[in-house]
């Protein structure tokens, strides 16, 4: 039986086109709508194909919203879809559309991340110049850089800018930790190891000393040099279990020296803690940390 179904979406021709005169007057012409085309379904194959097409759109709207598409422009989406269908076998159009997809990924993901990375540093990322470098590389234009020289130059500037940015943002934090350790080393009860780790024995244990592969049970409290507690098993009311190799280097060194039953206070330079990266909201890059660590047992 012959069925006639009207398509819900009218295709819009020239939705984004304006005349020169209209542009001068800052008025927008209304898009010219094509007449709704009736779909003729004359066989069961037609019907199942049409139903399959509609079924494929299930969940698509949510995806389009995630892609930040303005869903009031659905007619333009349909027009783009049909243009792509018509040129699916055209290698030039495939290349063209692939370029558009890559541009979208670059603009929405890579470029914002790169701009953030270079914030508060001597250099900044200029989008127009970045695009030119990208396209010159794709066209094999080596007038300014070869790809290898570009990578070497970018890597060097990336490191230099990070160092300058870190100095600006966290230099005072690093220097405060260094000064603390220098003064702390003058305390007779504090032992300084060749690695730079410092510790003070609060309770002397008499049990076995863990190997790096042993699982240990410990109670601990971690503080910044201003006294702020950022982590505490005491506050949680439950000791923690792990192997010495699963924690920061300062802990690894201390745990493999402590007899069971000991309680030490550790003074850990940033190099043996979380280094240049920091950790979480409280531990800034280059933070020197203080821990009270109580070794309860070696877990068998």
187, 193, 197, 203: CA torsion to nearest 10: -60
With CA atoms as reference, report the closest residue to 217 among 182, 241, 245, 196: 241
Active-site residue, 274 included = yes
Per-residue b or e along 227-264, where b marks 16 or more CB atoms closer than 10 Å to that residue's CB: eeeebebeeeeebeeebbeebbbbbbbbbbbbebebbb
Q: Of the residues 161, 199, 220, 283, which is catalytic?
A: 220
Alpha helices in 185-237 (DSSP H): 233-236
Q: Of the residues 199, 267, 270, 291, which is catalytic?
A: 291
Structure tokens at 115: 């701009």
Q: Are the C-beta atoms of 224 and 291 separated by less than 8 Å? A: no
Which residues neighbour 188 within 8 Å (Cβ) at sequence distance 6 or greater? none
Active-site residue, 131 included = no
Active-site residue, 231 included = yes
Structure tokens at 266: 């550790």
As beta bridge partners, residue 5 has: 39
Q: Of the residues 161, 248, 267, 268, which is catalytic?
A: 248
Q: Of the residues 199, 270, 274, 286, which is catalytic?
A: 274
Active-site residue, 248 included = yes
What length is written for the chain? 300
Active-site residue, 291 included = yes
Query: Tokens 């330079």 — which residue?
Result: 269
Q: Of the residues 46, 230, 242, 298, which is catalytic?
A: 230
Q: What are all long-range contacts of 75-83, with beta carbons under 8 Å and residues at least 24 apart?
A: 75/9, 75/10, 75/11, 75/12, 75/15, 75/31, 76/12, 76/15, 76/16, 78/9, 78/11, 79/11, 79/12, 79/13, 79/15, 82/11
Residue 220 is given by DSSP the state E
State how far the Cα of 176 lies from the Cα of 288, in Å rounded to an integer: 8
Residues involved in catalysis: 220, 230-231, 248, 274, 291
């Amino acid at each position: 039986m012959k069925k006639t179904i009207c398509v819900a979406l009218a295709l819009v021709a020239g939705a984004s086109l304006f005349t020169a005169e209209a542009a001068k007057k800052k008025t927008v012409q209304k898009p010219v709508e094509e007449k709704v085309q009736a779909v003729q379904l004359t066989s069961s194959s037609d019907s199942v194909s049409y139903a399959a097409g509609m079924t494929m759109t299930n969940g698509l709207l949510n995806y389009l919203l995630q892609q930040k598409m303005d869903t009031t422009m659905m007619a333009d989406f349909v027009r783009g879809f049909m243009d792509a269908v018509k040129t699916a076998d055209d290698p030039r159009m495939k290349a063209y559309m692939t370029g558009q997809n890559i541009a979208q990924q670059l603009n929405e993901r890579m470029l914002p991340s790169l701009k953030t990375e270079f914030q508060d540093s001597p250099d900044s990322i200029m989008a127009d110049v970045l695009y030119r470098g990208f396209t010159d590389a794709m066209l094999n234009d080596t007038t300014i850089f070869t790809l290898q020289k570009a990578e070497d130059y970018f890597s060097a500037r990336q490191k230099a800018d990070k160092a300058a940015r870190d100095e600006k943002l966290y230099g005072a934090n690093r220097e405060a930790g260094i000064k603390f350790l220098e003064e702390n080393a003058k305390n007779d009860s504090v032992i300084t190891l060749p690695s730079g780790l410092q510790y003070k024995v609060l309770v002397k244990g008499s049990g076995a000393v863990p190997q790096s592969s042993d699982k240990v049970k410990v109670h601990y409290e971690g503080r910044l040099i201003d006294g702020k507690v950022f982590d505490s098993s005491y506050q949680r009311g439950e000791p923690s279990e792990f192997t010495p190799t699963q924690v920061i280097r300062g802990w690894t060194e201390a745990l493999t020296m402590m007899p069971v039953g000991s309680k030490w206070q550790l003074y850990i330079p940033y190099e043996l803690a979380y280094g240049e990266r920091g950790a979480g909201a409280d531990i800034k890059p280059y933070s020197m940390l203080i821990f009270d660590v109580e070794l309860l047992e070696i877990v068998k």
